Amino acid sequence: MLGKDISITDNKSKRWKTMILVALGQKKMFTRPIPAILHLFLYTAFVITQIELIEIIVDGASGSHRIFRSSLGSFYTFLVSFIEILSVLAFIGTVAFLARRNLLKVPRLVKSELNGWPKLDANLILIAEIFLICFIFMMNGADEVLYQKRISHAQDLGDGSLGLVVSSYLGPLFFGNLSDGALHAVERAGWWGHIFMVFAFLNYLPFSKHLHILLAFPNTYFSNLKLQGEFTTVAAVTDVVAPNFDPAYQVKTDPNHPERFGAKDVQDLTWKNLLDAYSCTECGRCTSACPQSITGKLLSPRKIMMDTRDRMEEIGRNMDINKGTFVDDGKSLLGDYIKPEEIWACNTCNACVQECPVNIDPLAIIVELRRFLVMEESQAPNELNGTFTNIENNSAPWQFSPADRGNWIKE
């Protein structure tokens, strides 16, 4: 709601296709196969496990136990067994991701912008995932032993075994020697632990980078479908420039309420720019692909997105304190969060846009910040100022008179 309004209603069929392929199908993840496969383990387990979660919630609300087993029969065993296999794969993926961040220290996962909360956030969610998986196997494993002893909570004891592909081995291995009372306690602890972790995660989600789980879908739907490298034309700029060339030009913006050229703070960006910032997964693929970052320049496209989100949060807290009204705090996105050196390091190659697994566009924010510096503050690198002067005087970037433009033919 802080961003400037823009309308994105074109190419609906292409937008749906993009969302399905990129957000649902994880298409762009597979440019890097190893993390893509590990992420697929977690992603698939997260989606499919919701089926079992439905039963857990129904059981809790109704006081029943494995309410769908009697009606689904052998298919129930197959379905829960499949979920268990996915859970094992998710466990492997989670441990691998923890190792990549904390032991192997993959370069893009240990950069300075991740110090503090971002690093803690990533580790917290991975550790929580391990607990969640352990609770699942506590519940299923203890219940498997209870079924075999024919003392389960369920009234329909069936054949005396759940027959789950993983828990039928893990249950007797870890819980086979426990007393009946201890088995019931472990099974209940697994059930309550599982449901508690789910509700805790739902409350934690808005404070975490994992909000991308939800926002990846609208963000990819509203992707920039223009050709890469095509910049947005600003009507306010055209209104200033066009009358110099065409006296009959009709101004489209309100001259009594002039717009700021470019962006100094997040309120000058569009809602899509801000949605990009909240959709950032902090994976660092953009920064690892950025040629300027690779060669040691200050620019990190990931930091641009994280800074934008952090400034939004700061403005939000300001508005909360002041009953919905923003009171100038003397700060801005440009200057206090993002330095001019960062945005002028960008060579607008679009590598960051190409690499992002959820189609975030850091370049759009960088260009708007540059526009503000050049058009509002008259601050540009000396190399650009020379080019601007040449264009103004010679109608070309070079320091030659237009009358001499064709002299090269004589050579």
Model confidence pLDDT, tens digit, residues 33-47: 999 999 999 999 988
Positions of the chain with pLDDT lower than 70, given as ranges:
154-160
Report how far Cα 13 is from the mean position of its chain's Cα atoms.
Answer: 23
Instruction: Tell me what pLDDT residue 278 has.
Output: 95
> What pLDDT score does 253 carry?
81
State the Rg of the chain over Cα.
28
b/e sequence 233-260, b meaning 16+ C-beta within 10 Å? ebebeebeebeeeeeeeeeeeeeeeeeb
Q: Would you say 160 and 208 are in contact if contact means Cβ atoms under 8 Å apart?
A: no
Give the C-alpha separation, 37 to 21, whole Å: 16
How many contiguous H segments (helices) and E segments (strands) does the chain have?
17, 0
Cβ pair 219, 74 in contact under 8 A: no
Q: What angle do CA 177, 180, 185 make, to 5 degrees?
A: 100
- The pLDDT tens digits for 78-112 are 999 999 999 999 999 999 999 999 999 999 999 99
Report the distance separating Cα 224 and Cα 364, nearest Å: 10
- CB burial of residue 318 (10 Å; 0-12, 13-18, 19+): middle
Return the structure tokens found at 219: 């963000």
**Residue whose structure tokens are 């762009």:** 28
189-212 per-residue burial string, b: 16 or more CB within 10 A, e: under 16? ebbebbbebbeebeebeeebbbbb
**Tens digits of per-residue pLDDT, 49-65?**
888 889 999 989 998 88
